[in-house]
Amino acid sequence: RIKGRYMTRYAFYDKAMRDQMIEEQMIVRNMEYALHEGQFVINLQPVYEIPSKKIIGAEALVRWNYPKGPIPPSKFIPIFENNGFIVRLDRFVWEEACKVLRAQIDAGYNPLPISVNISRLNFYSQDLLEFLQSLIKKYDLQPKMLKLEITESAYMENPHQLIAMVRAFRGNGFSVLMDDFGSGFSSLSMLKDLPVDVLKIDMAFVQEVDKSSRAGAIMESIVELGKHLNMDVVVEGVETQEQLDFLSKIGCREIQGYYFAKPMDKEAFMGLVQRSQDI
Ligand code: C2E
Ligand code: MG
Ligand code: MG
Ligand code: MG
């Protein structure tokens, strides 16, 4: 009997799993409404150049201001990657990033480029490049102002499609960043085939440099590799002065991390850009 089957399966779940299922259902039930009601917003986390300590750009990161309390991306992004909603949410985030680029120009600033995350699911939509181009046109921007962050998972699923996409993006003036570099299984073979502009080294490496000389040696080698391949290297997740000192020592030039700035709302970011450009 069906009831009996459910009972047996039910016995496998402990309380934590049950809570997680309930939370997941809550997220799926609320996502459309939340997007419609403006509960999703972007934060911007500045990227700094060292040693000048100048702000040179930012990454757009989505936030869900759920009325009962914020829900972190680590909870909802995997769910939206499963049910496909990430395709729409990403596009919303890209448009919000374009608005911030437009606002910088309208305020008379020298606009700092913003990078956006592109879920691997978006690579299956035929109109991805067209959509990005329509945004650039709508907000009257240069494609180089919007940087596209991709991850290894997209490559592992469909290398040929991703290589073709990256070529098309770059051919049309967009920069492409490889996010979380070094965290996957095929980082080096991917690098061989994929002509990206920037490597963003996974947070795990910098957060270990104090504890492990191996992590440090790997970081140093990636920075060197970037130079040889004519790619910029960004290190994300920098939290301490010691980590910063190490990165300066090995010749790393671009940094994103709590040590300099946490992700902040649009208004705070605009203020920061303004102050950085005051003479
Ligand atoms: P990511 O793209 O690698 O973004 C960097 C994450 O590291 C962000 O977490 C950022 O807040 C965090 N971070 C930056 N500096 C530090 C630091 O010094 N220490 C620590 N502990 N963390 C730091 P966040 O915003 O929670 O996002 C997590 C992930 O969710 C992102 O990783 C990205 O994979 C995904 N994500 C966020 N926004 C979007 C989006 O709009 N679209 C898609 N597809 N994914 C997104
Ligand atoms: Mg990213
Ligand atoms: Mg990353
Ligand atoms: Mg990540």
Cα-to-centroid distance, 10 and ligand 2 (Å): 37
Q: Is 179 in the pocket of ligand 1 (CB under 6 A)?
A: yes
Q: Is 180 in the pocket of ligand 1 (CB under 6 A)?
A: yes
Q: Answer yes or no: are the C-beta atoms of 86 and 80 closer than 8 Å.
A: yes
What pLDDT is recorded for position 179?
A: 94
pLDDT in tens, 151-188: 988 888 888 989 999 999 999 999 999 999 988 877 88
Q: Is 237 in the pocket of ligand 1 (CB under 6 A)?
A: yes
Closest CA to 252 of 223, 215, 210: 223
Q: Distance between the two ends of the chain, CA-based, in angstroms?
A: 77
User: Rounded distance, CA 276 to CA 261, Å?
Assistant: 14
User: Model pTM?
Assistant: 0.94
User: Rounded distance, CA 62 to CA 117, Å?
Assistant: 9
pLDDT in tens, 116-159: 999 999 988 889 999 999 999 999 999 999 999 999 888 888 88
pLDDT in tens, 208-243: 988 888 999 999 999 999 999 999 999 999 999 999
Residue with CA closest to ligand 1 atom 35: 73
Number of the ligand closest to the Cα of 73: 1
- Rounded to the nearest 5 percent, the helix, strand and coil shares of the chain are 55, 20, 30
Alpha carbon of 120 to those of 128, 171, 258: distances in Å? Answer: 11, 20, 26
Helix axes 241-249, 213-228, angle to 10 degrees: 50
Residue with CA closest to ligand 1 atom 27: 73
Q: Is the ipTM of this complex over 0.95?
A: yes
What pLDDT is recorded for position 1?
A: 47
